[in-house]
Amino acid sequence: MSEDIRIGVFICHCGHNIGGFVDVPAVTEYAKTLPGVVFATHNLYTCADDGLRCIKDNIKEHNLNRVIVASCTPRTHAPLFQGACQEAGLNKYLFTFVNIREHCSWVHMKEKENATKKAKDLVKMGVARAALLAPQQESRVPVEPSSLVIGGGVAGMTAAVSLADKGFQVTLVEKENELGGMVLILYNLYDGGGDPMAMLKPLVEKVQSHPNIRVMLKSRMTALDGYVGNFRATVQRTDGSQELQLTVGTIIVATGAIDLMPEGLYGYDLYDNVLNLTEFELLCKKKELPKLKSVAFIQCAGSRGQKVSYCSRICCTVALKGAMKIIDNHEELMGRQVVDGKEQVVEKIRVEEKAAEDIADRRRRRRRMDEEREERPAAAAAPADGGVEVTVFNRGITTYGVDHELYYNKAREKRVRFVRFTPERIPVVGREGDKLTVTYWHETLKTERKLQVDMVVLSTPQMAQPDSRELSQMLKVPLGQEGFFLEAHVKLRPVDFATDGIFVCGTAHGPADITESVEQAEAAASRASIPMMRGYVQAEALTSTVNSDLCTGCRTCEFTCPYSAIAVDPKTQKAVVTDVLCKGCGTCAAGCPRGAITMRHYTSQQIEAEIKAFAECREA
């Protein structure tokens, strides 16, 4: 560095705060002896107008090209002093802060001599650092005012409408040939029990007719390049017939979830009339329930340690919704067929034959027993009160939410039976004659009991989409342990990804009901609109940079960076930093096997100079 280093040091008394416990004039005299220091002074209050003027005047008078203020903490006062430097024409990154109040005078109030010694050392370290500082530039990157929403369920559509209403161009990509997602197969909704289509249809219509939304059905994103403000996505029809290149500013992931097929659990693949919660909803929707006198729901089927570790949250409430609709409406929901000129209620769900073609399709891999089963005449009359007996086997009912506890009370009023079980002794579903049986351990009576039922509904959890991994690799965003998309911070940034410009909502993020999905979608749309509304993103000036002569392309940095800001270019086999994404933590620089990465403003040389300065302070 051929540059002539001219350092100015301004030491603050902060009234009595520093001056009372540190010998400020002595520190100032000491500063004058340090290499590179051409000017040192002390002020009563450096942050006051005359203090700031003193900095500006002396930068000009002494032609200072580095400024050090030794006073309070950079966390509150750095911008003020940096501003003064800038006003005097000095790049703000040539300013160094030395903390001799919070870290010195205030914590060593009874040791003036040692505190003064410490202040001198700290100033010396600051001077050593300052000599090695380099000017830095902040840059702005323009943001395309358009968004790509992946997934056309309720979450995706809500986010799309929200963004489109704000005036942004939205491309909504859905892999199926219909908008609606999971809600399409629901019979009713638990909040208010309304018809899902009454909610879904207006939303779909709004999406389809919105001038700012382009809907692409039977399509998926196949490639992605770029970064916040400037993503370049390739969207392809699933049949491969069409391909489209888009440039968008932000991306919202709303790919939803799927239901678990609890194969191998509770006779799901052995017996007719054993369904999971989603299949049950579908049957209700198609009004093809069999004749029912007694129904068992088994909660936590496959979740909480069986196949997945988590609780899917909404299934308790959904199961109670199901129990009540059987009790209230089973006549209406039953499937009917004409046998010998007489209409009869369907006895069994014959998966391959019935409605349930969708279910058949879902279950096409499933082994079938009871090939020879005959159609039987209608079963005996329903219980005396004409209702259906519903038993909910559970590991503790969790109808979370302000209103949902009422569901539980209501279900009890309707004489739904609740039987608790523990994971050590789960109920066993079997068959006796043409009846299903549930054998369970009665926790209170301490005996084994058997219940005859017509149908078993397994409350299975929502699961991550199987193609999430592929998508997460394309987006360079993480998945959690269970394969759901993982947000940047569970509490503070619940719909952001760590990677800027990409957001998540709905069940792609984890089990959620419609209300929560919509909330998240609105949140994600709102977050996504921030950079688009502003029109630019401010790139961090303090980013890391790679010396490609030293880089061996080992990708250690790529795997260390939480923001996907550094990656090895497959062509050159050298790491490249995307400045817009880099937040300047320096973790890559501290881990680079070849020392090829420099963290601007916190370079190894700067850090080592500070340490060396302290090491040399033996006797000052």
Partner 1 sequence: MADFEPRILGFLCNWCSYAGADLAGVSRMQYPTNLRVVRVMCSGRVDPVVVADTLLKGLDGVIVTGCHINDCHYISGNFHTQKRMQLLIELIDQTPMRGRVRLEWVSASEGTRFAAVMKDFTDTIRALGPTPLGTDQAARTALLAVRDTFSSPHLRNVMGKYFHLTERGTVYGWKLEPARMEKALREVLRAEHARALIIHNAGTAPVTVPRLAELTRIPAAEIVRHLSVMMKQSKVSLAGHDGADPLFQVAPGAGVG
Site string for partner 1, 443-482 (x = CB under 8 A): --------------------------x--------xx---
User: Which positions from 69 to 88 touch partner 1 by CB under 8 A, shown as an x/- string?
Assistant: ----xxx-------------
* 583 lies in the binding site for partner 1 (CB under 8 A): yes
Instruction: Identify whether the C-beta of residue 190 lies closer than 8 Å to the C-beta of residue 318.
Output: yes
Residue listed under structure tokens 């903490």: 73
Q: Which is nearer to partner 1, 110 or 446 (CB)?
A: 110
Contact 531, 250 (CB under 8 A): yes
CB of 561 to partner 1, least distance (A): 9
CB of 390 to partner 1, least distance (A): 41
Tokens of 131: 């000599």
Considering only residues 6, 103, 237, 435, which one is a binding residue for partner 1 as defined by CB under 8 A? 103
Q: How far is the CB of 516 from partner 1 (least distance, A)?
A: 23
Taking CA atoms, 510 is separated from 161, 250, 411, 462, 474, in Å, by 22, 21, 27, 8, 20
Among 238, 560, 567, 574, binds partner 1 (CB under 8 A): 560
Q: How many CA atoms lie within 13 A of 221 on its CB side?
A: 30
Select from 88, 345, 567, 585 the one that contacts partner 1 (CB under 8 A): 585
Which span sits near partner 1 by CB under 8 A: 45-53, 95-103, 135-143, 271-279? 95-103
CB of 587 to partner 1, least distance (A): 3
Number of Cβ atoms within 10 Å of the Cβ of 197: 14
Query: If we measure between CA atoms, which residue out of 87, 108, 90, 88 comes closest to residue 99?
Result: 108
CA 268 to each of CA 272, 274, 425: distance values in angstroms, whole numbers, following the listed order: 8, 5, 18
Q: b/e per residue, 14-45, with b = 16+ CB within 10 A?
A: beebbbebbbbeebbebbeebeebbbbbbbee
Size of the site for partner 1 (CB under 8 A): 59
Min dist. Cβ of residue 556 to partner 1 (A): 4
Task: Report how far residue 39's alpha carbon sits from residue 58's, in angstroms, rounded to the nearest whole number.
Answer: 8
Strand blocks (E) in 428-528:
428-432, 435-442, 447-453, 455-458, 462-464, 502-504
Selected binder of partner 1 within 498, 523, 537, 581 (CB under 8 A):
498
Q: Which is nearer to partner 1, 45 or 614 (CB)?
A: 614
SS3 481: coil
Q: Which of 495, 568, 575, 592 binds partner 1 (CB under 8 A)?
A: 592
Two tokens, residue 295: 């129904």
Place of tokens 């066993």: 428
Determine, following the binding rule CB under 8 A, whether residue 310 of this chain makes contact with partner 1. no
Q: Which stretch binds partner 1 (CB under 8 A): 8-16, 301-309, 400-408, 584-592?
A: 584-592
Question: Residues 104-143: x/- map of binding to partner 1 (CB under 8 A)?
Answer: x-xxxxxx--xx-xx--xx--x------------------
Taking phi over 0 as left and psi of -120 to 50 as alpha, with beta for the rest, 167 belongs to: left
DSSP state of 182: G
By CB under 8 A, what part of segment 205-264 binds partner 1? none
Quote the least distance from Cβ 465 to partner 1, whole Å.
15
Q: Indicate the residue among 282 and 565 with the shorter CB distance to partner 1.
A: 565
Q: Which is nearer to partner 1, 310 or 602 (by Cβ)?
A: 602
Q: Secondary structure of the chain: what % helix, strand, coil (to 5)?
A: 30, 25, 45
- Smallest gap from Cβ 618 to partner 1, in A, equals 8
Residue from 226, 420, 576, 602 binding partner 1 (CB under 8 A): 602
CB of 603 vs partner 1, minimal distance in Å: 10
Distances (CA, A) of 139 to 248, 536, 547, 573: 20, 10, 21, 26
Binding partner 1 by CB under 8 A: which of 195, 562, 572, 573?
562
Shortest distance (Å) from residue 602 CB to partner 1 = 6
Q: How far apart are the first and last CA of the chain?
A: 28
Measured on CA atoms in the order 579, 584, 585, 587, is the torsion positive or negative? positive
CA of 234: how far to CAs of 90, 243, 363, 503, in Å? 45, 7, 33, 18
Could you list the residues that contact partner 1 (CB under 8 A)?
A: 73-75, 99, 101-104, 106-111, 114-115, 117-118, 121-122, 125, 469, 478-479, 488-489, 498, 542, 552, 554-557, 559-560, 562-563, 583-587, 589-594, 599, 602, 604, 607-608, 610-612, 614-615, 617
